Amino acid sequence: SKARIGLVGLGVMGANLALNIAEKGFTVAVHNRTAARIHEFIADAGPLAERLIPAETPAALAAALGSPRAIIIMVKAGAPVDETIAALKPHLDPGDIIIDAGNANYEDSERRARELAAEGFRFIGLGVSGGAEGARHGPSLMAGGDASAYAEIEDILTAIAARFAGKPCVALLGPGGAGHFVKTVHNGIEYAEMQLIAEIYGLLAQVEKRRAWDIARLFEQWNEGPLRSYLIEITAKVLHALDPVSGAPMVDVILDRAGQKGTGRWTVIEALKLGQSPLMIEAAVAARAWSSEKDRREMGAELLPAPRHEPAPPILDADLERALIAGRVIDHAQGFALMAAASEAHGWNIDLARVAEIWRAGCIIRSEMLDDIAASIREGLPGGLLIFAPYFVEMLEEAVPGLRRVAAGMILRGQPAPALGAAIAFWDSMRQARGTAALIQAQRDYFGAHGFARIDAEGEGHHGPWAEGS
């Protein structure tokens, strides 16, 4: 009999996703460029092997599937996806469905949706979050693309997705690249949240010289309160771990250079194109880039003077928790504002409350707070900004002073706080009905006669007394 769905790419993510699908009772035809991997995978699949059909070639994969065919591609993002599609296409029929489940750039998904539609195929760009463990036992799934195609595979996606209070964390969020865009922003928010945590860790470990396991206990404690989330939980676990080689805390023997595969950078690039500035995500991308300039920092440690000993009030642990709470809300506020802007610009009509809902479980940024975020978005965000929602205004009334004290304290102590600093800068900017851009406008008019609007008159083309001939 025919398999219900096909899957190409038995790497870490693809293999786990295939097992997840098989476990939910669907037969999966599996293919991998390197064919040896297919048999190795099935041999290791245990009892689930009976629902896995090996397909050594794209033709065999197509032959193993019922009509219309649905094939998940889970290979390295970029050109490999196009190569895989090109290899499959000769064996497909009109109406067949291609699902790219890798971390695609949303523009590639828009293009693939267009190109495939022109040839009569249907496309879904599927953002998958949760790492290997999520793929195996329940990821958060962010779909974009053809609604009729989504309907054909919705039962499978619903069965394999993570669940929050019984509700599956999967949704069709819009056409074309909408799902991959949302996945990209998810990763951007994740970057900023990881950076926030790293900054707080930096204060505790590097300024206060607390040991990793003491810091771990703090994170464990925070994970019992409003900060409860996957990233806080794994931070505690990571800080508890010891290096089997040296016996030292694992974190102390890891080189301080952060890797990045590009989704944080993409978030920032797309944001800037839309006239948005999610400053916390920008700061997190910057911090990873600076971290990789290890040689330069080693030079800087010799060449640049340490901060003078400034009088600075002690920083309370309770304020660190408040800073993390405020930082997380502001991070999400910036990420959701970005998705709103993209949805508007592309006409995607993304249900942002639904996005928050499908992030409540399965994905890396999952947290209890996302449930409150979803509720606030459903009620309608004043000004389209999460920090204006009554629930969060109240929460931040207490948390922001903590953020302010921590950010200021870190600056006085010479400890870098790019994400915390970005968070408080955004907050204070949004709080100012009248900012300082009048001076920018005056300068622009002075050197470029760009003109400005006045507070007391109509029109944009006013000039100052400095303009030539005035």
Q: How far is the CB of 139 from ligand NDP (least distance, A)?
A: 8
Report how far residue 102's alpha carbon sits from residue 187's, in angstroms, rounded to the nearest whole number.
13
Separation CA 351–CA 334 (nearest Å): 16
Nearer to ligand NDP, 12 or 248 (CB): 12
Minimum CB separation from ligand NDP for residue 133, in Å?
9
Residue-wise DSSP of 232-247: HHHHHHHHH-B-TTT-
Where do we find the tokens 């001076």?
A: 439
Active site residue 183: yes
Comparing every residue's Cβ against ligand NDP, the nearest one is: 11
Round to whole Å and give the CA distance between 185 and 163.
21
3-state percent helix, strand, coil for the chain, nearest multiple of 5: 60, 10, 30
In terms of CB distance, is 320 or 364 closer to ligand NDP?
364
Is the CB of 75 or the CB of 350 nearer to ligand NDP? 75
State which residue, 35 or 274, has the beta carbon closest to ligand NDP: 35
Question: Which residues are bridge partners to 445 per DSSP?
Answer: none
Question: Please, where are the H alpha helices in 293-415?
Answer: 294-303, 317-346, 352-358, 369-379, 390-412
Whole-angstrom distance, CA of residue 234 vs CA of residue 116: 40
> Which residues within the stretch 123-182 sit at the binding site for ligand NDP (CB under 6 A)?
128, 131-132
Which CB sits closer to ligand NDP, 178 or 400? Answer: 178
Nearer to ligand NDP, 56 or 460 (CB): 56
281 and 263 Cβ atoms separated by less than 8 Å = no
Identify any residues that bridge with 229 across adjacent strands, giving them in sequence order.
367
Q: Does 187 bind ligand NDP (CB under 6 A)?
A: no
Q: Which residue is it, tokens 């499959």?
A: 88
Q: Residue 78 CB, nearest distance to ligand NDP (Å)?
A: 8
Residues 68-107 that bind ligand NDP (CB under 6 A): 74-77, 80, 83-84, 102-103
The rounded distance, in Å, linking the Cα atoms of 202 and 199 is 5
CB of 14 to ligand NDP, least distance (A): 6
Identify the active-site residue in 24, 89, 167, 190. Answer: 190
In whole angstroms, how close is the CB of 262 to ligand NDP at the nearest point?
9
Interface pattern 237-276 for ligand NDP (x via CB under 6 A): ----------------------------------------
List, as one string, the DSSP characters of 15-79: HHHHHHHHHTT--EEEE-SSTHHHHHHHHTSGGGGGGEEE-SSHHHHHHHBPSSPEEEE-S-SSH
Q: Write down the least CB distance from residue 8 to ligand NDP, Å.
A: 7
- Binding mask of the shown chain, residues 9 to 48, with x at each position contacting ligand NDP by CB under 6 A: xxxxxx-----------------xxx--x-----------
Q: How many residues bind ligand NDP (CB under 6 A)?
A: 22
Task: Write down the least CB distance from residue 130 to ligand NDP, Å.
Answer: 7
Give the C-alpha separation, 121 to 117, whole Å: 5
Nearest distance in Å: CB 241, ligand NDP: 19
Q: Pick the closer one to ligand NDP by CB: 72 or 337.
A: 72
The nearest distance, CB 364 to ligand NDP, in angstroms, is 8
6's enclosing H/E stretch is: strand 5-8
Options 183, 199, 270, 357, the catalytic residue: 183
Q: Quick check: helix, strand or coil at residue 421? A: helix
- Of 6-14, 114-122, 274-282, 420-428, the window that binds ligand NDP (rule: CB under 6 A) is 6-14
Please name the amino acid found at residue 218. L
Contact 230, 367 (CB under 8 A): yes
* Residue 435 to residue 428: CA distance in whole angstroms: 10
Q: How far apart (Å, rounded) are the C-alpha atoms in residues 466 and 445?
A: 8
Beta-bridged to residue 3, according to DSSP, are 65
Determine whether 40 is an active site residue.
no
Containing H/E element for 30? strand 28-31
Separation in Å, CA 443 to CA 287, 300, 434, 439, 440: 31, 34, 17, 6, 5
Which one, 33 or 228, has the nearer CB to ligand NDP?
A: 33
Using the minimum distance from each CB to ligand NDP, give the nearer residue, 29 or 399. 29
Contact predicate 125/104, CB 8 Å: yes
Cα 163 to the center of its chain, rounded Å? 19
Catalytic residues: 183, 190
Which residues form the interface with ligand NDP (CB under 6 A)? 9-14, 32-34, 37, 74-77, 80, 83-84, 102-103, 128, 131-132
